[in-house]
Amino acid sequence: PAKYRRNPTPNLPDRQWPNNELTQAPIWVSVDLRDGNQALANPMNVEQKLKLWDELVAIGFKTIEIGFPSASQPEFEFTRRLIEENRIPEDVTVQVLVQAREHLIERTYEALKGVKQAVIHVYNTTSIVQRENVFEKSKDEIKAMAVQGAIWVQEYAEKAKQEGSNSEWIFQYSPESFSQTETDYAVEVCQAVMDVWQPTPDNKCILNLPATVESNSPNRFADQVEYFIRHLPNRESAIISIHTHNDRGCAVAAAELSLLAGADRIEGTLLGNGERTGNMDIVTLAMNLYSEGIDPELDFTNPEKWMDVVEEVTKIQTHPRHPWVGDVVYTAYSGSHQDAIRKCLLKQEDSKPWNVAYLPIDPKDIGRDYEAIIRVNSQSGKAGSAFILEQEYGLNMPKWVQMDFAGTAQKLAEEQGGVVSHVDLFESFKDYYKFGQ
Ligand code: KIV
Ligand code: ZN
């Protein structure tokens, strides 16, 4: 959106990111119905998954990871319902997760019978800790697991074709816990997987790099991504995807820096639901881009609708200070902030770039109305009341009236013990000045 401009960035001559700044949205992938769902105490039932699916499609996701159909009957059934009820729009691709195990891969293709196009997302873990303590396998043995998984994925796709399937398959591989894996070794494993799939620039595979547990600072994670990309021999035949979790609270930062480091695709969830502290919050990253004038190609303008559905199916309330969409994030209580916002809003012209202090975007762009912006409480000065009475009741208050009335508004807030409603504010103004009596 042309309405927003970039913040001035200091000149950093030794900065070496492959992308100096972002100019377009990445390929987004919602994993709400899989990673988000697997983290819930009460996982969604099929009807709840269908409800969230509809919202994800309405928001504009073109790839949606719908689950792990070989893992349970509801997951299998959900996949069948989407296909049999023709709920997958032409331009939307479903993605399914599966471990590198033959019977699970076979069952996955069974679940997908009749699908037009799907991403088969196969993974195995490659991290040092899992190799040593969980699998007790050597590097070569773990690499062999990945290669075998890639072979099965390819073989069952071929088998489906021989049995008459017209489905288009896209292959995705994740070295789970990439961030806790030696980066050279991750390259080696992914290269071995690519040797099986033989992707080309016209028929790419997807390599998804997870911070399964966020254990590095975001810049270190992005360095790993950059190193991986630079050292992958057939980089032009792979889409590089990023899948971060939020254990250190930096999943969005890690994803954003990874895009600067050259990644193409981002997996995450709405509002960051997911294992432990959650997955990367797509809403935050998308709105970060939006506020810099980049079209995120996702539509979050109707939060009342999609947030209600997310909260209903996850049973998790959104924090009121959640970036971009929390209930109070476009609200100013302090007098000096209210005064600055009021002055800027009065000067803001629709045709000019957004230029309002304390409001990083126009709240209207995210479906918030003006009432939510300025709330008068006992900390508020004259400007908040003046702005509300002027905008909503057409009262153009001279400065001395603003100052004269400020104390009354603050007293009212103290009496009411919180935020004064705009109607009460107007009534108290009329009462104070015997106005209209
Ligand atoms: O966090 C993770 O590593 C995952 C993979 C299975 C992609 O969810
Ligand atoms: Zn995950």
For 22, 155, 222, 250, 252, the CA distances from 219, given in Å and listed in that order, are 16, 39, 5, 10, 12
Instruction: Give the atom of ligand 1 at the shortest distance from the alpha carbon of 208.
Output: 7
Tens digit of each residue's pLDDT (9 = 90 or more) over 127-177: 999 999 999 999 999 999 999 999 999 999 999 999 999 999 999 999 999
C-alpha closest to that of 332 among 364, 362, 373, 303 = 373
Q: Quick one: which ligand is closest to 180's CA?
A: 1
Q: Give me the chain's average pLDDT, please.
A: 93
Ligand 1 shell residues, CB under 6 Å: 35, 97, 123, 174, 176, 208, 210, 212, 243, 245
Taking CA atoms only, the protein residue closest to ligand 1 atom 2 is 212
Which residues sit opposite 97 in a β-bridge?
A: 121
Average pLDDT over residues 396-414: 90
Average pLDDT over residues 49-57: 98
* DSSP assigned state of 421: P
CA 35 – ligand 1 centroid, Å: 7
Range of lowest pLDDT (5-14, 100-109, 158-167, 417-426) = 5-14
Q: Is 245 annotated as a binding residue?
A: yes
Measured CA to CA, the distance from residue 66 to residue 76 in angstroms comes to: 10
> Is the per-residue pLDDT at 20 higher than 80?
no
Range of lowest pLDDT (132-141, 245-254, 263-272, 409-418) = 409-418
Taking CA atoms only, the protein residue closest to ligand 1 atom 8 is 35
Question: What pLDDT, on a 0 to 100 scale, did the predictor assign at position 4?
Answer: 83
CA 8 – ligand 2 centroid, Å: 34
For 150, 239, 349, 366, 413, the CA distances from 98, given in Å and listed in that order, are 11, 19, 52, 36, 56
Measured CA to CA, the distance from residue 210 to residue 225 in angstroms comes to: 10
Tens digit of each residue's pLDDT (9 = 90 or more) over 286-339: 999 999 999 999 999 999 899 999 999 999 999 999 999 999 999 988 889 988
CA 212 – ligand 2 centroid, Å: 5
Pocket test for ligand 1, best of 29, 33, 35 (most atoms within 8 A of CB): 35
Tens digit of each residue's pLDDT (9 = 90 or more) over 27-43: 999 999 999 999 999 99
Measured CA to CA, the distance from residue 357 to residue 348 in angstroms comes to: 11
pLDDT tier at 375, thresholds 50, 70, 90? confident
> Is the per-residue pLDDT at 5 higher than 90?
no
For 29, 306, 356, 365, the CA distances from 1, given in Å and listed in that order, are 22, 22, 16, 10
Measured CA to CA, the distance from residue 88 to residue 81 in angstroms comes to: 10
Question: What pLDDT, on a 0 to 100 scale, did the predictor assign at position 9?
Answer: 59
pTM value is: 0.91
Q: Let me know if 61 is exposed, middle or buried by CB neighbors in 10 A (0-12, 13-18, 19+).
A: buried
Average pLDDT over residues 73-101: 98
Range of lowest pLDDT (179-188, 278-287, 293-302, 386-395) = 386-395
In angstroms, the first-to-last Cα distance of the chain is 48
Instruction: Give the atom of ligand 1 at the shortest distance from the alpha carbon of 210.
Output: 3
